[in-house]
Structure 1
Amino acid sequence: MQHLLVRNLVAARRLFANTLVLTHATPPIRARRQRHVKRKRLSLARASTKSKPSDAWPPKPAKEIQPKLLTTHLDGHIPYSQETLDLFKASPKFCQQQEREFRVFAADGNEKRLRFKPMQATQRAFLHALAEDFGLDSESQDPEPHRHVSVFKTPRFVSAPMKTLSQCLKIQAAPVAASNETSSSARALVANADPYNAFLLTEPRFGLTIDELHSDLSPEFSSASFGNFDISFLPSGDIVIKPLPAHFMSNQKLEADLGNMKISVSKKVSALGFAKETMLCAIDGSLNVLRREDESASGAGGWSQVAKGAGRKIAPVRSDVGVKSSFTVLGTKAAKKVKKESNEEAVDDWEREVEGAVLLVPGAVAQLYNTVIETAYGGVQGVAAFNSSPAGNISNWQDITVWRGIPFAASTSGSNRFRPPQNLTAWNNTLHASTFGGVCPQDFTLSSSLYYSEDCLNLNIWSAGNDTSAKLPVMLWSYPAESTAAQPLFDGAGMASKGFVFVNYNYRTGSLGWLATEELSREMVVGYGTNSSGNWGMLDQFAALKWVHANIASFGGDPDHITIMGQSAGSAATQHMLNSPLTSGLIVNAIIESGVRDPHDPQASSLAEGYHNLSVALTTGATYMSSLSASSIAGLRALPFEDLIVSFRGNFSFGAVLDYYAMPATYMTTLLSGLGNDVPILTGNTRDESGASFTENTTVSAYNASLISQYGSYFAAQFLALYPAANNSEADTSFNAHYRDTSRVGTWNWARYWKEGGKRSDVFTYLWDHAPPGQGQGAYHESEISYVLNNLYGTDLPWEAEDYVIAEKMSSYWANFARTGNPNLGGSYPGGNLSYFPSWRESSNTTMELGDGFWGGMPIAKPAQIALIDNFFGTQVPI
């Protein structure tokens, strides 16, 4: 965003050269411009009415622009059509993301074409309308469902509009008062404006540094309810100080607390001579000053002040430009040289000097969404993860970049269907990774913004790093069944805010992910030297991990510090990566949620970690082909993918295949033989899953029948003795208690087998028991995800203050573990010390209670119950 705004600033200076006050002691531009140099196009503010192409080019020089046009632009002028504004109001989050893409594209002189991913017709309509407002040409290409929009720069394009769409909507909704408006109407406007969320220091002392401000103002902020604060220099020369609350705080509370501490901050600033005045202000994520105490209207100051060209002084261009600029002291601890890319168009020295000086004004480090990241296959550019502050524990939300829909393998359609993921073909243009990619076909309804496609092997990356060389630890998330990487539940910004690069990805499921046939086995022998078939989805998972290992350093991640993690079916994916020789040495930690159980537990084969022997998978594949009247794999590859979808737990049971290639052995053999990666493990289950239920509706007869069905008459009698049911209430309690005990004992046993196999790394087990608000399923399957990923903002539940506290603790345990291999170490929790999280010990028979208690180790069950469960497991064949 900063480089875009700097470019807009430069364009604004050229446009308003006769209205902005620049202390430049050299001849006018025209007099100094070299005659043999092609003039750069001047930036014009576009009028609200559509101009004919013949009128749009060539533009008039800045000094010939009529004052009336300038005045209109600077005041209440709205440079967008009503159609664009109406479409924006219908879908503001989507439209803000696209507007940001347009502005990045507009600011880059080397980019001539911008291609968007396929999207719905109404979304394409917005892109066309916005392109018209920017002075760009646009075209919809390709048939549905692959229809997409491409945007092109033409001679009528000059620059992006100075005002954002959201600013124009505010102007439209509450017109800015003219100079002769009554003070009462101005006060009414302010009353409905954005709450104050920062301090504004006007006319700061020349040479003032961020370090100096931070050091001297820290006592004032630490004595209030803020753990820290950010400092940013605006292009106007003013300074914004943004507090970072140590915990969730409403906008109204934030405004009140800032008001209470204003006097002390103002006195300190004045006493030290830092600035002329200290006042409260409201800023947005792009450092636009929306409101300030000494004004009645929004839109003053900040980056938007550059477009207004009045009220605030622009940092002057010194007469000695070309000498090392003293503006460099406005940087952070070490002044960094600004490396400018060479410009294809020759320009005169004055323009170069102005741009060089302006680039040094802002003191903050540029976020990664201002940078084109080079991968092994081409360049990608991300976007800001948030347009405004999310609810919760994310104080550094403005720093977080997201890259959506980056392909990590080729399309799986056509000849690539039922094959291992194939290598990508490199792309030439920058991939603007602002929207999620295609979703691997499944049998459930997607949200309106997503679409099914076999070109679905793509991933999403979140990072709060400001430097591609940051080497932050990496988290790779695998989603559960009937899910996609684009779901808000799996949004990674919350964990990125804790100093990680967070990645999630799509992989094939159903028949497209797990079909095994004799013909496919023969293909694998020829192409890969193994008769494996059926683990296409598992190989997708491995390919995502390998792509991350090869490319994540360019996104500020550490390729040698990857923690794999997932829930339910995603926990099975995590186990496959943990155990397979194809991923040896690529991971440092593994988090397995609602995953591992004693391989003797019958539920293990029916839940996410279940698998099929190759012979069973081949028989299922043959039956499936027959049901589709397909006699060959070529016939299956010719069918539309819609014909191949098989629902989860539907007529055909597709899943991982024991092929002795991707999956090298049974779980039990893998554990006891010491196969796989020897890395620390964090694993557990939730209270109300795996048979347990939060609802109280089990009868005595239903309970007895369930025990006999699951354990047989002999063990059912023993379970009934230890988990009695004299009435329906007791039946319900005992029904849930024996399932919860079995789950905890099974996880504890898995850790024991892990150690017996010779692994030296620690295992940490837990039970999650907190029920999210606003639902009646208790601590249900998946209920911990929003808390561990620190993204309560992604789920529409009536969160309470307690939930934000729990989320901070849970995500801090997970962050500590991903950083150090130990949930107790790492310093991720800002609220002091977390309760001690014990690792597995054979003598302890305890697990960590997480959620309602955080009380440390709790017994997995009573000794008699543990013995009964182990006795029953001992009679079962392990998987």
Structure 2
Amino acid sequence: MAMLGLLLAAALCLGSASAASLGTVMTEGGMVSGDNYGVSGLFRYMDVFKGIPFAAPPGRFEKPQPHPGWDGVLKAKDFRKRCLQVNLIQTMTRGDEDCLYLNIWVPQGRKEVSTNLPVMVWLFGGGFLVGASSGANFLDNYLYDGEEIANRGNVIVVTLTYRVGTLGFLSTGDDGIPGNYGLWDQHAGIAWVHRNIKAFGGDPDNITVFGESAGGASVNFQLITPMNKGLIRRGISQSGVALCPWAINRNPRQFAELVATRVGCPTDDKMVACLKMTDAVALTLAGTLEMHGSPETPIVKALVLSPVIDGDFLPDDPRNLFVNAADRDYIAGANDMDGHIFTGLDVPSVNQPIQSTPVEDLRVLVASFTKEKGQQAADLAYNEYTSTWGSRPSKVEVKRAIVEVETDYTFLIPTQAALYQHNSIATTGRTYSYLFSQGNRNPGFPSWMGADHADDLQYVFGKPFATPLGYWPKHRDVSRYMIAYWTNFAKTGDPNKGESDVPVNWPPFNNQTHQYVEINHRMGRNSVKQKLRLRFVNYWTNTFSALPTISE
């Protein structure tokens, strides 16, 4: 036994000595070096590059420009600062204007470096207001660490930063400050990957863009804009698409004038010049949103720092741009209680197990979502969401209905609409639909809770493997399934085909079978289902849309 231990130790030492590594890599801006270390799996290694600039420090309310390059070797070993933004409670700022950097994880074997690997580019979420390419951090455990995906799926993972908040998405609705700077940053990062990833062992013609929430909507925008022709092969949108009600601001001038007033700028023809000269921190703080929800004023209505139809990056309404994604494969889905993140703020009693939630709160919430169509729309929607109730609905029935309304309106129904839209125009592009329903792990939430907004992130990024003491075996199953589906899809355009085994065959989505897969730890043949909330999809996309608009 002792001899066996010595032999194993010697083997590990030899493996370490001959570890495959890219070493110094030549990019268009200059040479970069990162870190190389061993990962789980016999003689597996990872090259990691953090903080490579993909564009120059951005000008105020300007599109990103190419980076001028650098002399010598850039040490790419640390995450760079996030883009300048408000903190989570919107009382101060953090980050920097010089923020357009990306990070790369490249899996390696024992002796030979990887070549021609599929590439997955991650776009973070945060309501277009906050976020970073590294994600939340606890004791150097970064949420968006690409190691587990890259190692387990044998793909290159890239995470990139883009401008958010006022500096990323303020728009005057005209040529003064057109907006969409965060989307242009994403595009610049994707284009950099396409031009440079071959030097890191990646296939520039097999790039999958994936993201969650605002990042999921961003994926959809990057797929449908005409700017990315030839750059992207596939996309995965988690809990966010271009058709979400918060994804487009159709009256950006109103908020631009509010920001101008807050920083002491005029709102006439001198407004743009004044805003461009205003201190960046002051501008960022002036972009705080009113996040005090109630059934009358749900928080989703306050998310106004978002992309706009600028006639450039988005030359038309997103609904009319899906033709640009006709040859792209697309996965889109939602969490079964995605809306709970907002419901807990709009209707706090939902999370109080003893306290009842008044039925009137549901009526008011529905009316706020259907306001532009008037009382008839509100009554029809209320009837849809209470159709299974008896004369005395239980506490849980009322609370669940409120969560379902927010989930449907904010995430799930727009996602289904995007799937139908993509499938209807697809030529060679394949379409896949999913519902994520692994129960929330917060012990303070009600027992009936499903998957809240962002609950899927920990599984996609392999946290049950990276921090095993915090999870049960069933959570590692969920993570294994999602990484397998996601990386198979990145390789082949089919989530079932690739190097990783999957728990059940995931059929394509189409307008005839309406099939989707439900993702949780109990996956099997019963996980393939049909017609996800079709009754409510029909209400919002057909009945509600057909009603006349009576107010803006």
Residue 652 (structure 1) shift: 8.6
1:95-124 CA-to-partner distances (Å, cap 9, x unmatched) read xxxxxxxxxxxxxxxxxxxxxxxxxxxxxx
Alpha-carbon distance in structure 2 between the residues aligned to 1:547 and 1:583? 12
Q: 1:378 to 1:870 in 2, by over 3 A?
A: closer
CA deviation profile, 1:539-596 (whole Å, cap 9, x unmatched): 1010000000011111111111100010011012111210111111111110000023
Q: 2:281 is matched with which residue?
A: 642
Task: Specify the alignment match of 2:472 in structure 1.
Answer: 800
Q: What is the aligned-residue RMSD (CA, Å)?
A: 3.3
**Cα distance in structure 2, aligned partners of 1:469 and 1:793:** 23
Match of residue 484 from structure 1? 132
Q: Does 1:724 align with 2:389?
A: yes
Q: Distance in 2 between matches of 1:795 and 1:444?
A: 26
> What's the counterpart of residue 278 of structure 1?
none
Count of residues in Structure 1 that have an aligned counterpart in Structure 2: 493
Match among 32, 36, 51 for residue 380 of structure 1 = 32
Matched residue, 1:399? 45
Structure 2 residue aligned with 1:705:
364
Q: 838-847 vs 421-430, which deviates more?
A: 838-847
**Who is 2:308 aligned against?**
657
- 1:874 equivalent in alignment to 2:541: no
The whole-number CA distance in structure 1 between the counterparts of 2:503 and 2:155 is 20
Alignment of 1:318-467 (within 5 A): 364-368=18-22, 371-384=23-36, 394-395=40-41, 399-412=45-58, 416-444=59-87, 452-465=95-108
- Going from structure 1 to structure 2, the CA distance change for 1:445 and 1:685 (only over 3 Å counts) comes to closer
Inter-partner Cα distance in structure 1 for 2:106 and 2:65: 27
1:611 equivalent in alignment to 2:278: no
**1:655–1:716: structure 2 CA closer, same or farther, 3 Å change rule?**
closer
Call closer, same or farther: CA 1:378–1:666 in 2, change over 3 Å. same
Alpha-carbon distance change, 746 to 636 in structure 1, aligned in 2, over 3 angstroms: closer
1:821 pairs, out of 471, 488, 493, with 493
Residue 854 and residue 594 in structure 1: after superposition, are their counterparts in 2 closer, same or farther (change >3 A)? Answer: same
Deviation at 1:703, TM superposition (A): 2.6
Give yes or no for contact 1:475–1:500 (8 Å, CA) kept in 2: yes
Going from structure 1 to structure 2, the CA distance change for 1:848 and 1:828 (only over 3 Å counts) comes to: same
1:842 positional shift: 2.0
1:667 to 318, 321, 327: 318
2:11 to 240, 255, 267: 240
Contact 2:82/2:99 (8 A) holds in 1: yes
Q: Which amino acid aligns with 1:813?
A: Y
Cα distance in structure 1, aligned partners of 2:261 and 2:467: 42
Aligned to 1:846: 515
SS in 2 for 1:477: strand
Q: Is the 8 A contact 2:249 2:306 kept in 1?
A: yes
In the alignment, does 2:243 pair up with 1:579?
Answer: no
**Contact 2:423–2:511 (CA<8 Å) still a contact in 1?**
no
CA distance in 1 between counterparts of 2:408 and 2:249 reads 27
Residue deviations 1:26-73 (CA, integer Å, cap 9, x gap):
xxxxxxxxxxxxxxxxxxxxxxxxxxxxxxxxxxxxxxxxxxxxxxxx
Give 5+ residue unaligned stretches, structure 1. Answer: 1-195, 202-230, 232-237, 242-286, 288-301, 303-330, 332-361, 523-531
Aligned with residue 255 of structure 2, among 602, 605, 620: 620
Deviations 1:111-147 (A, max 9, x none): xxxxxxxxxxxxxxxxxxxxxxxxxxxxxxxxxxxxx
1:495–1:790 contact (8 Å) kept in structure 2: yes
Question: Which of 1 and 2 has higher RCO (CA within 8 Å, sep 6+)?
Answer: 2
Q: Give the Cα–Cα distance (whole angstroms) in 2 for the partners of residues 717 and 635 of structure 1.
A: 47
Cα distance between partner residues in 1 of 2:451 and 2:217: 21
Q: 1:437-485, CA deviations, whole angstroms, 9 ceiling, x for partnerless residues?
A: 1210110169xxx962111000000111365661111000000012211
Residues 1:779 and 2:427 aligned together = no
2: distance between equivalents of 1:633 and 1:456? 23
Deviations 1:708-736 (A, max 9, x none): 44344431453255242623232224334
Distance 1:618 1:706 in 2: 27
1:681 paired to 2:333 = no
Matched, 1:495 2:149: yes
- Letter in structure 2 aligned against 1:688: M
In the alignment, structure 2 segments of 5+ residues that lack a partner are 136-141, 291-301, 345-349
Instruction: Return the index of the structure with the highest Cα Rg.
Output: 1
TM-score w.r.t. length of structure 2: 0.80
Determine which of 564, 575, 600 is the counterpart of 2:209: 564
- Distance in 1 (CA, whole Å) between partners of 2:533 and 2:416 is 13
Shift of 1:759: 3.6
Write the deviation string for residues 170-216 of structure 1: whole angstroms up to 9, x where unpaired. xxxxxxxxxxxxxxxxxxxxxxxxxx9x8432xxxxxxxxxxxxxxx
1:877, 1:823 → 2: CA distance?
41
Q: Match for 1:748 among 416, 427, 451?
A: 416
In the alignment, which residue of structure 2 is the partner of 1:543?
Answer: 188
SS at match of 2:98: coil
Q: Does the 8 Å CA contact 1:773/1:799 hold for their aligned counterparts?
A: no
- Deviation at residue 380 of structure 1 after TM alignment: 0.5
Q: Does 1:768 align with 2:436?
A: yes
Structure 1 residues 584 and 433, CA, compared in 2 at 3 Å: closer, same or farther? same
Decide which of 507, 513, 533 is 2:178's aligned counterpart: 533
Question: Equivalent residue of 1:420, what SS?
Answer: coil
* C-alpha distance in 1 between matches for 2:308 and 2:73: 38
Letter in 2 for 1:689: D
